[in-house]
């Protein structure tokens, strides 16, 4: 086997092992075996720099520190969601929304997903290659954090993630559109966040208040090497654009001339994203009655601490994408989706001490030291 073919094989194996680890949650090699493959690839690319490509697993880190972040206009606005905190409020939401249903709407179904408490990111792919990643910003304009997102191992630099041993693709596999824009959430698993704060404490560094702040602060570093050292994860949940012009945030996807019809439902969208190699939450469910949706959501209130990541609720979406488009938008919220917010946490604690901050103008602001709960 010549060097070029060996490099190609190593890249395919590393991509597939990332897929097994981050998408399937079923790693098939040890960390030591993975590191050995990566070390061999680095050595071969160092000896043959003309064979290095932007999508190589070795190229996740390498950019020099940036002077600032470039603004990026999103192809479709990232809207907010209306919310409900009880089954009664969810039923009231649907009673209002159902008046806008088109007469030819298919039988209704709903998909429920975790409302992740992280940083929304928009991922652009051209001919299967990751070319741009941006933060949510104000929903219309975000910041270009491509070099930092490249360091997130859960993010595929090239799609679809192929199988290095040539196993056949799943039946009905759709080819990748010329241009694909995916929306997801950068997060930090609770266990990873706690480990990061322990490292920060040992190094006498600043502790992060919560996983969301740690994720946002890590992705907005001017030096991507700092981001690479942080345990950022990723979960994807929507396709914004495929092939043609930009679509609304709740749009139905049209036929992809490059490889057959694109998903027409949210449930199919999640399966397709997984098929391409994007990590998708395993805590998703589909129901054909709103009563089932509400029972499921209320059940999560008591078990929200079982999730490996922070979530402050669930998102309920009309499954059929065309129906969601037809329902339209009111204000800055799509009618076809709503957030089920968990009630705030309550606990009793003890005041340990009172301190006072002195502002620049001499104003005194008291604050309390509380016993951790």
Active site residues: 115
- How many Å separate Cα 200 from the centre of its chain? 25
Cβ(270)–Cβ(326) below 8 Å: no
* 219 vs 160: CA distance, rounded Å: 24
Question: CB neighbours of 16 closer than 8 A, spacing ≥ 6?
Answer: 161, 162, 163, 164
Token pair of 263 as six digits: 């998903």
Cβ(11)–Cβ(22) below 8 Å: no
Cβ(113)–Cβ(283) below 8 Å: yes
> Where is 222: in which H helix or E strand?
none
90-103 burial string, b = 16+ CB within 10 Å, else e? beebbeebeeeeee
* 78 vs 98: CA distance, rounded Å: 23
* 152 vs 130: CA distance, rounded Å: 12
């Amino acid at each position: 086997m010549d060097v070029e073919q060996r490099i190609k094989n190593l890249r395919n194996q590393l991509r597939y092992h990332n897929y097994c680890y981050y998408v399937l949650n079923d790693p098939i090699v040890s960390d030591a075996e993975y590191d050995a493959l990566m070390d061999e690839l680095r050595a071969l690319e160092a000896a043959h720099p003309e064979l290095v490509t932007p999508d190589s697993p070795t190229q996740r880190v390498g950019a020099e520190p940036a002077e600032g972040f470039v603004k990026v206009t999103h192809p479709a606005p990232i809207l907010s969601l209306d919310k409900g905190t009880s089954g009664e409020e969810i039923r009231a939401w649907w009673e209002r929304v159902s008046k806008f249903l088109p007469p030819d709407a298919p039988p209704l179904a709903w998909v429920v997903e975790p409302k992740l408490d992280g940083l929304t990111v928009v991922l652009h792919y051209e001919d299967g290659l990751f070319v741009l990643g941006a933060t949510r910003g104000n929903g219309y304009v975000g910041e270009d954090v491509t070099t930092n997102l490249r360091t997130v191992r859960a993010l595929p630099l090239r799609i679809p993630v192929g199988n290095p041993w040539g196993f056949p693709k799943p039946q009905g596999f759709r080819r990748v559109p010329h241009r694909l824009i995916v929306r997801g959430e950068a997060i930090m698993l609770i266990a990873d966040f706690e480990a990061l704060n322990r490292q920060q404490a040992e190094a006498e560094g600043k502790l992060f208040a919560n996983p969301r702040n740690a994720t946002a602060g890590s992705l907005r570093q001017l030096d991507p090497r700092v981001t690479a050292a942080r345990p950022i994860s990723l979960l994807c949940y929507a396709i914004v654009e495929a092939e043609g012009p930009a679509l609304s945030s709740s749009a139905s996807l049209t036929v992809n001339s490059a490889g057959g019809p694109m998903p027409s439902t949210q449930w199919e969208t999640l399966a397709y994203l997984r098929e391409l190699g994007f990590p998708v939450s395993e805590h998703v469910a589909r129901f054909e009655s709103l009563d089932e949706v509400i029972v499921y959501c209320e059940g999560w209130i008591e078990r929200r601490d079982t999730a490996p990541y922070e979530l402050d609720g669930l998102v309920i979406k009309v499954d059929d994408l065309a129906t969601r488009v037809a329902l339209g938008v009111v204000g800055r919220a799509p009618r076809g989706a709503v957030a089920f917010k968990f009630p705030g946490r309550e606990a009793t604690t003890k005041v340990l001490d009172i301190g006072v901050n002195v502002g620049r103008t001499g104003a005194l602001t008291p604050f309390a030291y509380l016993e951790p709960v």
